[in-house]
Amino acid sequence: MLCSRSTTRRNRILPVSAESSEIEIFQTSCFVLRHMNCFQGINIISPAASTRAVFLPSDCEILTEITDSHGFIISGPSSTLNLYTQWESAYSKKQKKRVAKWAKIMKGGQDGRLYRSSELKKLVRKGVPSHLRGKLWMDLSGASAKMASDAGLYQRYVDEAPATCRPDVLSLIEVDLHRTFPHHPNFNPSCLTKCAAEDKFDCQPTETPHLQSLRRVLRAYSARNKLVGYCQGMNFIAGAMLLFLNEESCFWLLATLLEDILPSDYYDRELFGCNIDLMVLQELLPQVAPRTAIILSEAGLGLELLAVEWMVCAFVRSLGSEPALRIWDCLFSEGGKVLFRAALALVRAAEPALLAATASVNGGKGRKEEAVLGWMQTAGKGHIDADRLLKDAFALPLRRRDIEAARERCRDQLAKRAAAARAVAKPAE
């Protein structure tokens, strides 16, 4: 379990050319994405859970690094990060007022497990205390029951994985292992090993316990689900789970998410289920953010360019830790529809910035495309207030049956496209 940490600040001055502003997002793969002249003025980029995100303003500015209560780093101008600490302080006071309600509801039923209720649903939407998240996720998702019905199965998968998993899957897990939350103390070893380069899969003494647990969880799930094996993005989901759960519970929560909450083909080799949900988001966009839909269409771009990382990593790689975890609280309590609500709420909240970025664009389609791509680099990353995000998400006029109907339509469309592509690719007999 991750212990609560006091907020720490580290100041530094970064000189930036006065001719342009620049956003640098340092990805876990050490790949730097840059886009010039995205926005004017100062904006925060909340940390993707796997990144150190830094906004560089148009002049010299003192940037402050804050380590949040979950151990993740947020970097940005001091004036903007003060807003985050103010929100965090206010949120903490609200949580203290709900201690008695949580104590009552966490007693659970006669078997000690939590069960869904209207009262619990309201509390979850207002935010789950971090020390209760593990139990709540396990019980409300059904993972606790799943684990209880198959005692000992996890260890069997762990033992079988080296012999039964494909070598390329094991190799990919190794490569991604050290890319998982590299700035978080629970995943940052004192020195990196050469095990991946040498194709060795034994745990190294320099690795943190969380990294070793993450390796076992990902291998075990690959052994359990041969059709999925391992998909990039699963490392971030399992890694975040390990901050609140032991590795066996993490394995069963991951299995529940991939097999019960999300469509079973969400993480197959073609990401078929995920692509369907991206199509659904595109279909729902005009009724939620019509001006954004028009601008994207004019630029010849689809929402999937922005949302694919959100959906594949369930937001944990794209938002600050508390907003992402608040989405997870509702995801495990209410189901996969929450991902649609969160994604569309983020897009709608970012619509004013898109309008500003494209308002002065003159020229052809290429200029508008450039402006929209710049907007996509920052959309959703400025959310400090997790309360507002969830409030906006659940205010959207979305119904579960409408989402399921859209999924079926998009599944049929995607299946027909795939069949047509195979027919074209098949050599003439």
User: pLDDT (tens digit, 0 to 9) for every residue of the chain, 429 residues total?
Assistant: 333 334 444 443 333 333 333 222 222 222 222 222 222 222 222 333 333 333 334 344 566 788 888 888 887 777 778 888 888 889 989 989 999 889 888 887 667 778 888 889 999 999 999 999 999 999 999 999 999 999 899 999 999 999 999 999 999 999 999 899 988 889 886 534 444 444 455 555 578 999 999 999 999 999 999 999 999 999 999 999 999 999 999 999 999 999 999 999 999 988 999 999 999 999 999 999 999 999 999 999 999 999 999 999 999 998 889 999 999 999 999 999 999 999 999 999 999 999 999 987 766 666 889 999 999 988 887 677 899 999 999 999 999 999 999 999 999 999 998 888 888 877 654
On whether both 250 and 277 belong to a single domain, the answer is: no
Say what angle helices 247-256 and 209-224 make with each other, to 10 degrees: 40
On whether both 405 and 354 belong to a single domain, the answer is: yes
On whether both 285 and 392 belong to a single domain, the answer is: yes
What pLDDT does 81 receive?
Answer: 80
Q: 3-state DSSP call for residue 36?
A: strand
Residue 244, domain CATH: 1.10.8.270
Residue 321, domain CATH: 1.10.472.80
On whether both 173 and 301 belong to a single domain, the answer is: no
Indicate the residue among 71, 91, 111 that finishes a domain.
Answer: 91
Indicate the residue among 255, 286, 305 that finishes a domain.
Answer: 255
Q: Is residue 282 part of a domain?
A: yes
Domain that includes residue 337, residue range: 272-375+386-425
DSSP letter at 258?
A: I
Query: What is the pTM assigned to this prediction?
Result: 0.81
Q: Is residue 128 part of a domain?
A: no
On whether both 70 and 215 belong to a single domain, the answer is: no
Q: Is residue 140 part of a domain?
A: no
On whether both 251 and 345 belong to a single domain, the answer is: no
On whether both 166 and 246 belong to a single domain, the answer is: yes
What pLDDT does 88 receive?
Answer: 87
On whether both 280 and 200 belong to a single domain, the answer is: no
Indicate the residue among 198, 225, 255 that finishes a domain.
Answer: 255
Q: Which residues of 228-241 are buried (b: 16+ CB within 10 A; e: fewer)?
A: bbbbebbbbbbbbb
- How far is the CA of 108 from the CAs of 120, 249, 338, in angstroms? 11, 18, 24
On whether both 53 and 160 belong to a single domain, the answer is: no
On whether both 76 and 186 belong to a single domain, the answer is: no
Concatenate the DSSP letters of all residues of 142-167 into one string.
THHHHHHHTTTHHHHHHHHHHHHS-H
On whether both 293 and 330 belong to a single domain, the answer is: yes
Concatenate the DSSP letters of all residues of 109-131 into one string.
STTS-----HHHHHHHHT---HH
Q: Is residue 414 part of a domain?
A: yes
Q: Is residue 324 part of a domain?
A: yes
Q: Is 51:102 a contact under the CB 8 Å cutoff?
A: no
Overall domain count for the chain: 3
On whether both 27 and 156 belong to a single domain, the answer is: no
Q: Is residue 168 part of a domain?
A: yes
